[in-house]
Structure 1
């Protein structure tokens, strides 16, 4: 079976899930998960009470499936407010002086925000929104990085019954305009600018252009982060300080139906305009609260502090806010690059702010690994209790480096996978289960998922498609103003089952793995393989920092495998190394999967959250002219890839 991480006894003894299982008579975590999947009414019906959700009115029915799983209605008749449960309630329950989060600027400034201060910010901005006529069903867009005010704006919109729509701060104006136009946003919150690797990013300029292109909204609220000079529309723009000035910090919660939308989160598809995932108040609250308690082991009311490297415009940003704050814990939000101004910035911040839970994308972990253990060993990381990975499969070597070398085998890797459309996870472990490298262990609580073949039949030991056989409260309530696309995207591939678009594998020991997006799958002579399997082998090489593998057209096999590798700092990958790498893949996976070609590049295109953009590489390798995406962290990498591909005969 190879290496298996086993949770330390003291971790198991003190875990939230251990005490829960003891109270409810479960002998193992698997037994609990199986029960929650078998009877979703029992699990989701009791979960609000177990967690301590405050209802304004209790639901009369847990779930209504009369229109099929596609249109499940949860907590029928129930009234609550997701923002109230993560702002007002923890302030009352744990004290207004308890820390909600700390913001850290790239230049070293810091700002601690207590639950009382956050409540004041939320209530004041909620009063401003109401003055502007914003109410139930209206959309408030937040086009800004993680800042105290941007978090408060999101929560204020939800607290008054409006819909918050966070937009990634790295998007260019056309991408922002698409979202503003589609949502018909009534108000947008943005920022004058922010710091990114020593540069001052004028986001207000982008916001102005986006509003011009979209024709929405009529009001823009500007957070003054840098105090830089920006263009100003006297009729449209107002500063945050002016917006909240003189507003009385009085309670603002709207009693919303459990199914009422709280979040509008856009996620890009392979074709067409971005999909607007509509997350209900119940889903916004329950899924992250469940996962933070049972899986991350966040202790209610404690000094636990989660830092997930993300943006408020990605799902993990709001997920972090709602999960930690529901439990009265705290989180860290950080401006700028993780390796700027020094390569040890991550470890320094973990030490300085006593971070207990640290999450990232696999590419970020590989970047940190490339810097070696010296930056790690220079800092006191004794506060850390768990790691997390999401966004893409993590290769075994990097997983082992984090768990064994950094974590000293004391801390679990909560490797999780889900999506924007479910505002949480289908698959993730708890801290009390043994783990193989790279595994996600198995299904989350209440998530009845499976792996099936092309005909929809369950498969084990071979790759298949990840599906959900039963609904969950956090699944998108259709797609924003496009119910037909919702059905076509998620429910048409396998009737009665949610098709998520991920390729997954359950091995002979029952451990689950995500192999990548199904559209990243490479088919060689009819045999399917996920790029992560090949990349994991390449990344073991002592000179390879990271890799990306794609399928390219082949007249005989249909597709052949093309791999790009980047060298570790100071390493030189020779032709002999490339031949050895190809042979190693063939030896471990079989001759059909031997890469046709392996190219060395300086860098691979990736998003700011660290995901390698294989689709971009695949398009370039197929002769498509590609321009830098607004979500791309390193647009100069396109030139590196282009030059390497030109050696194969591709020209633009």
Structure 2
């Protein structure tokens, strides 16, 4: 590779962050792990993961800790091999027993497992003993409906206790769950039902969304209706009564549809578990599908639970008296690992909240933190930046946040200024922030600090966790020097990695292993950079890198520069077509100052604000990271198109500027946002 081609194969490092936050002596003294953990893990990673697996209860010990067949080309085969990883081969366990029963057996039955807060204000507290009874009832009910080990069950529910109960019950009987966000369209649900070949759909009559009871059952019916009005592979639809008389028109098919309270509540409250092979599939989770058909990633039992449990304990410094709140919807992989399996395997007390963070007021999350004495608060950068716009003057609602001892972020890279705001305003300037990088594909956190050990840098996920190897490489697969950017890859395997794509192992190989098959790397699809100390900084999806006159620029760094300006609360940056430079930068910004309802609905107001902000923000970006990163277009907007999990759908912003069809928008939180942005763009022209 020539020097010139090597330059184009990397991503330029633009921002430098020098603020350091070392751990306090007090936190370090009580932390679950110490700095020696890295050396212990690197000495023999497989033996290290065996040690972590022994934190669980196994009915049968494993014979072989790890096997790996990489995606290698062979002389006698025209294609790469399909890679195959196995962990704890021959071992047998029950995932739900490890998350519930063993804690009751250890005398922790009276410990609170779930503090539930409904959007309308209803509350429920469930101990581990009560959770055990409920999971047993649901497991017996599923078995009575004909669900057996290996069957697929799709769960289409909001964040309510029954979602956790049925998920653990599915795992308990060895069936395979696939959770679908309760706000997804019938079309999105239908694809997942058909792709999994599910036997049972679990849904609700309705759900609460932004203060309103919204019907759900009709969506579920549409998803399972075949071409002649029948069902696909669905035999039963199990319906939870959530909104009741507020959504009275519930379509019903006798013989297929059943009420949860009729089937589950009357079932026996004890259940004899079976035990399943470590590689037995536990769940199928679908990628968001912003490009192409969603991939159904398959996670198995023993390896996944091992790493989910250990990473929750180590990275979140889990203590017996913690009150832990991960704000993710239960359908996202974040919640699979860090609401369901990680915390429950460690006998944690968790908070779950059904609603949106501004219903009925913008301080709802802080109210919940005070009410339950939350000690660990794990949320998304999108929400943190939203808080920054809601409370631009720095004054949060007057709720007591002093219980917080640790914060976490997940979903996409956090801007340094948002990190500092979160640390100072929510963490009281004392709580470390565990900034985690991982994906549905990895199953658990890969790059994250160890609280009490790692010196933190605002905006950096820091370094890989013990037992894991993440590298930043160029196009050829060579590791880039410190101070440069490239492609994030993972070397080797790890217990919680997805094993395949459901029904399409070749797509698994081609999506993740084909690009660097000669090195054996897993390619994450993200760009990243090393700083001078070797810390890793995420730069966003490689597809989002902007090539301006040969300079490959990260959207995340430009967004961070914009958010550091006091007038900007949030930013979305994309590459758009330009006849001179090939690509140009278009920046969409949400102002930090509040906007009246009348102005917010007026495209002309936003067009005028864009002109007012443009020069100052372009100059600010040039000062922060260089003139090459100045946006050509600067557009003020009331909101950005975001997925249900809170990630900005930058593709839609580029499509709007370049006047292309928008394609699939079913994963958007608010499907009206693109049209409102289009109206602002039209006003500017």
Give TM-score, length-normalised by structure 1.
Answer: 0.94
- Counterpart residue number, 1:61: 64
In the TM superposition, residue 574 of structure 1 has moved relative to its aligned partner by 6.1
Matched, 1:519 2:543: yes
For residues 342 and 444 of structure 1, the distance between their equivalents in structure 2, rounded to whole angstroms, comes to: 37
For residues 365 and 516 of structure 1, the distance between their equivalents in structure 2, rounded to whole angstroms, comes to: 18
- Counterpart residue number, 2:273: 253
For residues 28 and 113 of structure 2, the distance between their equivalents in structure 1, rounded to whole angstroms, comes to: 27
1:222 aligned to which of 216, 239, 245: 239
In the TM superposition, residue 153 of structure 1 has moved relative to its aligned partner by 0.7
- Counterpart residue number, 1:591: 627
- Counterpart residue number, 1:602: 638
Structure 1 range deviating more: 450-459 or 554-563:
554-563
Matched, 1:419 2:439: yes
Distance 1:268-1:116 versus aligned 2 partners, 3 A rule: same
For residues 573 and 545 of structure 1, the distance between their equivalents in structure 2, rounded to whole angstroms, comes to: 14
In the TM superposition, residue 67 of structure 1 has moved relative to its aligned partner by 5.7
Distance 1:627-1:76 versus aligned 2 partners, 3 A rule: closer
Q: Displaced runs of 4+ in structure 1, greater than 6 A?
A: none
For residues 266 and 378 of structure 1, the distance between their equivalents in structure 2, rounded to whole angstroms, comes to: 39
Distance 1:89-1:81 versus aligned 2 partners, 3 A rule: same
**Residue aligned with 1:430, SS:** coil
- Count how many residue pairs are aligned between Structure 1 and Structure 2: 634
Q: Which has the higher contact order (CA 8 A, sep 6+)?
A: 2
Encode CA deviations 1:188-219: one digit per residue, 9 max, x unaligned: 11111111111111111111111115724120
Contact 1:567–1:573, Cα closer than 8 Å, also in 2: no
In the TM superposition, residue 437 of structure 1 has moved relative to its aligned partner by 0.8
- Counterpart residue number, 2:163: 150
For residues 69 and 369 of structure 2, the distance between their equivalents in structure 1, rounded to whole angstroms, comes to: 49
In the TM superposition, residue 592 of structure 1 has moved relative to its aligned partner by 2.1
Encode CA deviations 1:264-304: one digit per residue, 9 max, x unaligned: 111134533211111110133122211111110111xx231
Equivalence map 1:566-645=2 (5 Å):
566-570=590-594, 573=609, 575-626=611-662, 629-645=665-681
Distance 1:437-1:374 versus aligned 2 partners, 3 A rule: closer
Distance 1:380-1:61 versus aligned 2 partners, 3 A rule: same
2:31 aligned to which of 15, 25, 32: 15
Encode CA deviations 1:531-588: one digit per residue, 9 max, x unaligned: 1100111112221111110001122322111111111233794635311211222233
Equivalence map 1:396-407=2 (5 Å):
396-407=416-427
Distance 1:449-1:94 versus aligned 2 partners, 3 A rule: farther
Distance 1:453-1:94 versus aligned 2 partners, 3 A rule: farther
Matched, 1:132 2:145: yes
For residues 233 and 377 of structure 1, the distance between their equivalents in structure 2, rounded to whole angstroms, comes to: 47
**Residue aligned with 2:559, SS:** helix
Contact 1:194–1:226, Cα closer than 8 Å, also in 2: yes
- Counterpart residue number, 1:44: 49
Matched, 1:470 2:492: yes
For residues 254 and 449 of structure 1, the distance between their equivalents in structure 2, rounded to whole angstroms, comes to: 37
For residues 374 and 506 of structure 1, the distance between their equivalents in structure 2, rounded to whole angstroms, comes to: 32
**Residue aligned with 1:306, SS:** strand
Encode CA deviations 1:108-159: one digit per residue, 9 max, x unaligned: 1101111111111111111111122211211011100121111111111111
Structure 1 range deviating more: 178-187 or 619-628:
619-628
Matched, 1:324 2:343: yes
In the TM superposition, residue 378 of structure 1 has moved relative to its aligned partner by 0.7
Matched, 1:297 2:313: no
Distance 1:96-1:466 versus aligned 2 partners, 3 A rule: same
Distance 1:374-1:524 versus aligned 2 partners, 3 A rule: closer
For residues 44 and 617 of structure 2, the distance between their equivalents in structure 1, rounded to whole angstroms, comes to: 47
- Counterpart residue number, 2:22: 6
In the TM superposition, residue 187 of structure 1 has moved relative to its aligned partner by 0.7
Contact 1:298–1:304, Cα closer than 8 Å, also in 2: yes
For residues 12 and 102 of structure 1, the distance between their equivalents in structure 2, rounded to whole angstroms, comes to: 29
- Counterpart residue number, 2:406: 386
Contact 2:390–2:594, Cα closer than 8 Å, also in 1: no
**Residue aligned with 1:194, SS:** strand
- Counterpart residue number, 2:506: 484
- Counterpart residue number, 1:109: 122
**Residue aligned with 2:208, SS:** strand
- Counterpart residue number, 2:6: none
- Unpaired stretches in structure 2, ≥5 consecutive residues: 1-16, 73-82, 596-607
Give TM-score, length-normalised by structure 2.
Answer: 0.89
In the TM superposition, residue 375 of structure 1 has moved relative to its aligned partner by 5.8
Matched, 1:554 2:540: no
In the TM superposition, residue 37 of structure 1 has moved relative to its aligned partner by 4.3
